[in-house]
Amino acid sequence: MTEVVDVPQDKHRVLIGRGGEVRRGLETQFKVLIDIPHQGSGQTGVKIIGQSADIEKAKAHIQSLVKEQQGETIQVPRALHHAVSNNGQFFRKLKSDHQVTVDHAGHAIPPKPAVATGSSRANGGALPLITDDAEATADAHSWNVVEHTSAEDGDIPWVLRGSADNLEKAKKAIEAAIFQAKNQNATGYLILPDPKTYRYVIGQGGSKVNSIRKQSGCKITVPRDQAKGEAIEVVGTKEGVEKAKDLILAAVKEGLGRSRAPREPRD
């Protein structure tokens, strides 16, 4: 037998899964064949082929899956989109923590705010010099703060999909992130003279940078390839980024002090 179940086209991907794994799993579990219309066809009818009893079980399961993946839309100011999404990290966190996915209903993503010339390398692009003096190396740095400006007006829709309970949790997380982004109006760019000292900023298992984030209330991104002279990026309030910079320099000074301290001879 064949039965057709009406499923909104934007929910078809819930039944397909990555590489078709969800559909294959349903076919195996319920001993049926499932025919889902091609994307863009405009058709909503999903065909279920098999024995009558198996079709009823598969149909009930599909309807429950679709119901769980209901959508809700939050309007996010376009000027704050990138600050909230944090280069996609926030979307990944929503998916891992709350099993909620985000799309923008076909709306174009706002362009990233332009970074002022010289922001990644302050003082005309000159990098601080490395010296043999541990004290001088710890204090040497290139630092520039850029205040955020955006010409973007209006909102961009964030369409959330997940279970009702998880949608509520995701909405609260987004609202908190928007509130935080409104107050994070500055970005600081810090370059240290010796790329090897960046490890002191990160600490074991990220412990040091996480501590600095909490103390300063800032987002801190340490570049992966420091050898290219890329800056540590600090996003927060003007007061927060200055505090984060001081904490970072203190962490470097502490790390250099430990590494250059004479080791006690073993017995």
Instruction: Say which residue the tokens 């204090």 belong to.
Output: 139
The whole-number average pLDDT for the span 249-255 is 92
Q: Is the pLDDT of residue 55 over 90?
A: yes
The winner for highest mean pLDDT among 41-45, 214-218, 254-258 is: 214-218
Q: List the alpha helices (DSSP H) in the chain.
A: 12-16, 21-30, 52-68, 81-85, 89-98, 134-139, 164-183, 198-202, 207-216, 238-260
Q: Can you give the residue ranges of every domain in the chain?
A: 2-68, 72-110+152-179, 123-149+184-260
Tens digit of each residue's pLDDT (9 = 90 or more) over 121-148: 444 344 444 444 445 545 567 899 988 7
CATH architecture of 72-110+152-179: 2-Layer Sandwich (3.30)
Bridge partners for 160 per DSSP: 72, 102
The whole-number average pLDDT for the span 21-31 is 93
Tens digit of each residue's pLDDT (9 = 90 or more) over 60-105: 999 888 776 667 889 999 989 988 998 788 999 999 999 899 988 7
Tens digit of each residue's pLDDT (9 = 90 or more) over 166-225: 889 999 999 999 998 888 888 899 998 887 888 999 999 999 999 999 999 998 998 876
pLDDT at residue 142 in the model: 87
pLDDT at residue 70 in the model: 65
Whether 2-68 shares its CATH topology with 123-149+184-260 is answered yes
Distance CA 152, CA 95 (A): 27
* Crossing angle (nearest 10°) for helices 164-183 and 89-98: 150
| pLDDT top residue among 86 and 114 | 86
Class of domain 123-149+184-260: alpha beta
What's the CATH code, domain 2-68?
A: 3.30.1370.10
Question: Comparing 16-20, 26-30, 114-118, 239-243, which segment has the lowest mean pLDDT?
Answer: 114-118
Instruction: Say which residue the tokens 């923008």 belong to.
Output: 104
Number of Cβ within a 10 Å radius of residue 56: 14
| pLDDT top residue among 157 and 17 | 157
